[in-house]
Structure 1
Amino acid sequence: MVDDTLAWLLDSDPAVRWQVERDLLHEPADVWEATRARIATEGFGARLLALQDPDGQWAGGAYFPAGFDFSGPEAAEGAGQPWTATTWSLTMLREWGLDPGVLRERRTAELLATNSRWEYDDLPYWGGEVDCCINAWTVANGVWLGADITGIVEWFLEHRMPGGGWNCEWVAGSTRSSFHSTLNSLKGLIAYDAATGGTDATREARRSGEEYLLERDLYRRLSTGEPVAYWVNRYAYPFRWFYSVLNAAEYFRQARLLDGGRPDPRMAEAIEMIRAARQPDGTWLQERRHPGRVWFEVDVPAGEPSKWLTLYATRVLDWWDRAA
């Protein structure tokens, strides 16, 4: 059964396959690096690269496509947002494992510095804006491409909530940390720390954000001990900005590999929630698709076995079980 699942995972786009080779099969570096190099010329990566605009953007906009009607049907509640603009496209390419040299050769960071402005207040792209999730992706994408994002990193240190995390709604007056916002902020900071070595301040900020999630067992309300919401164990790929215990567990896997140390035992219940979702054939199902415009689909419809989710979940459980 395990061999069948691995064979199924290997029969995938290079963006999936190289991670299976590295993280599940533990192949030598020359094997998975050769597969990873194919992302620029085959499959999802090549298709998305071909959609980049001459000015360095995708869909003509920073977070939303050019000309997006914020009062139209696409902006209505439940319609979902478009996932085609620059920030989403860069994030996908980075998370798939594209060699940043491909975009550096295209002078993408420089072009965005000149041509791309945030829809919020027309702010310059690499300066960030007021939403901590957007700023987190910009930090991760910027350090990947060699842009100067130190100002946004400092912004994160100044905008932590008293509870130790972050909330994108701070600008509307919120003073409580959010599961979604805290996880996304942590992802931005760990990308910075992994690329640069970080600072005492960024590492301390990550520790406080991690503690916010860990003291809630990755899914509980601190006040009542009840699950914070139904979405904590609903898994969908791409993750986008949405929180789930699988998304969070993958962050903690990366953090412990970077920082050293064993998995925190407060993750145990969340890990078992992930394990319980495994199907008898060793796969995990796509439970939903986040609505909104996309360039093209990169995973299966809801209800079908997802190679992406199976990769993430198998990798997290392998990490957890090996440490145990």
Structure 2
Amino acid sequence: SAAARRAIARVEQVTFGGDVPWSGNRFFEGETEHCINGQIAASGAYFGVNVRPLIERLLAGQLSDGGWNCDSDSEHGSFNTTICVLEALLEYEMSFGGEAAITMARQAGEGYLLERHLFCRKSTGDTIFVDRHDKRGSFAAPAFFQLAFPPWWHYNILRALDYFSRSAKTHDERLHGALAHLKSKRRTDGRWNQDILHRGTMPVDLGEYPGEAGRWNTLQAMRVLSRFGKSPA
């Protein structure tokens, strides 16, 4: 729409500030962390912005296990960063068309998550209870089962399932465990909770708080189950 184009034109003029190496960069030029650049590239691609330079940087940052990590010293991917980059690559392909290099990178990133069944350690197959990046989660409430909107850079099974439902990967058996957990989290009134609020500033107050029904989580969960051909009932 014309209103959306005007808004994007304003965002394109926004620059990063502060005493950081990327100070002065325009918004869609991004910064240094793949998780942030993934979110920027995904939003830009959705609105038709040329984010190709960011996509190239994301492709160059892929690790040998197929994932991505904001920790430049790490040799292993992280769930959080990988989902941010995957969303960006998929959005770019949907907006500008597929390319072999992007598709191959995206499929390798999908493999990183699928090998871990979306919430497990690859080495043992055990559920990951605590996210070592932000220390959230516990035995009673595993980190990646905690649903949140907006998720910012944080990973959860609903976000991952939404990605796989959009990328037409709904028949992989390694998604079944995450789907079962998502369905088990449905409240008796048919909705899903806002389990946690991540730190971040929204331009408007969504009026959703931990322990209460979350409209956005409910919408996304119902959309996911519909795409997977599973009734939310």
Q: TM-score range by the shorter chain?
A: 0.7 to 0.9
Instruction: Confirm whether residue 317 of structure 1 aligns to residue 206 of structure 2.
Output: no
Instruction: Confirm whether residue 247 of structure 1 aligns to residue 159 of structure 2.
Output: yes
8 Å contact kept, 1:219–1:245: yes
- Consecutive unaligned residues of structure 2, counting only runs of 5 or more, are 130-141
Higher deviation after alignment, 122-131 or 282-291: 122-131
Q: Please give the secondary structure, in 2, of the residue aligned with 1:252.
A: helix
Find the aligned partners of 1:310 and 1:117 in 2 and give their Cα distance.
34
Post-superposition shift, 1:262? 4.2
Find the aligned partners of 2:147 and 2:13 in 1 and give their Cα distance.
37
Q: Which residue number corresponds to residue 79 of structure 2?
A: 179
Q: What aligned pairs does 1:228-239 form with structure 2 within 5 A after superposition?
A: 228-229=128-129, 230-239=142-151
Q: What aligned pairs does 1:6-85 form with structure 2 within 5 A after superposition?
A: none
The one-letter code of the counterpart of 1:176 is H
Q: Which residue number corresponds to residue 87 of structure 1?
A: none
CA deviation map 1:285-316 (0-9, x unaligned): 11122234433321421111111111111221
Distance 1:104 1:213, change over 3 A: same
Instruction: Confirm whether residue 116 of structure 1 aligns to residue 116 of structure 2.
Output: no
- Consecutive unaligned residues of structure 1, counting only runs of 5 or more, are 1-98
Distance 1:268 1:297, change over 3 A: same
RMSD over aligned Cα atoms: 2.0
Instruction: Confirm whether residue 217 of structure 1 aligns to residue 125 of structure 2.
Output: no
Distance 1:289 1:203, change over 3 A: same
The one-letter code of the counterpart of 2:103 is R
Please identify the structure whose Cα radius of gyration is greater.
1
Find the aligned partners of 2:124 and 2:97 in 1 and give their Cα distance.
38
TM-score of the aligned structures, taking structure 2 as reference length: 0.85
Instruction: Confirm whether residue 159 of structure 1 aligns to residue 71 of structure 2.
Output: no
Find the aligned partners of 2:159 and 2:12 in 1 and give their Cα distance.
30
Q: Number of aligned pairs?
A: 216
Q: Please give the secondary structure, in 1, of the residue aligned with 2:228.
A: helix
Q: What aligned pairs does 1:116-135 form with structure 2 within 5 A after superposition?
A: 116-117=15-16, 119=18, 120-121=20-21, 122-125=23-26, 126-135=28-37
Instruction: Confirm whether residue 102 of structure 1 aligns to residue 11 of structure 2.
Output: no
The one-letter code of the counterpart of 2:16 is R
Q: Which has the higher contact order (CA 8 A, sep 6+)?
A: 1
Quote the sequence identity (%): 31
Q: Which residue number corresponds to residue 207 of structure 1?
A: 107
CA deviation map 1:200-233 (0-9, x unaligned): 1011111000000001100000012112232110
Q: Which residue number corresponds to residue 276 of structure 1?
A: 184
The one-letter code of the counterpart of 1:275 is K
Find the aligned partners of 2:62 and 2:107 in 1 and give their Cα distance.
12
Find the aligned partners of 1:294 and 1:318 in 2 and give their Cα distance.
29
Find the aligned partners of 2:201 and 2:16 in 1 and give their Cα distance.
21
Q: Please give the secondary structure, in 1, of the residue aligned with 2:76.
A: coil
Find the aligned partners of 1:114 and 1:236 in 2 and give their Cα distance.
30
The one-letter code of the counterpart of 2:125 is G
Find the aligned partners of 1:315 and 1:309 in 2 and give their Cα distance.
10
Distance 1:322 1:285, change over 3 A: closer
8 Å contact kept, 1:299–1:306: no
Find the aligned partners of 2:88 and 2:30 in 1 and give their Cα distance.
12
Runs of 4 or more above 6 Å deviation: none
The one-letter code of the counterpart of 1:163 is D
Find the aligned partners of 2:17 and 2:172 in 1 and give their Cα distance.
38
The one-letter code of the counterpart of 1:102 is A
Find the aligned partners of 2:17 and 2:103 in 1 and give their Cα distance.
28
The one-letter code of the counterpart of 2:159 is N
Q: Which residue number corresponds to residue 305 of structure 1?
A: 213
Post-superposition shift, 1:251? 0.6
Find the aligned partners of 1:102 and 1:162 in 2 and give their Cα distance.
42
Distance 1:318 1:225, change over 3 A: same
Distance 1:308 1:161, change over 3 A: same
Post-superposition shift, 1:112? 4.7
Hey, which of these two has a bigger chunk of helix by percent?
1
Post-superposition shift, 1:322? 4.7
8 Å contact kept, 2:48–2:95: no
Q: Please give the secondary structure, in 1, of the residue aligned with 2:49.
A: coil
Find the aligned partners of 1:209 and 1:118 in 2 and give their Cα distance.
31
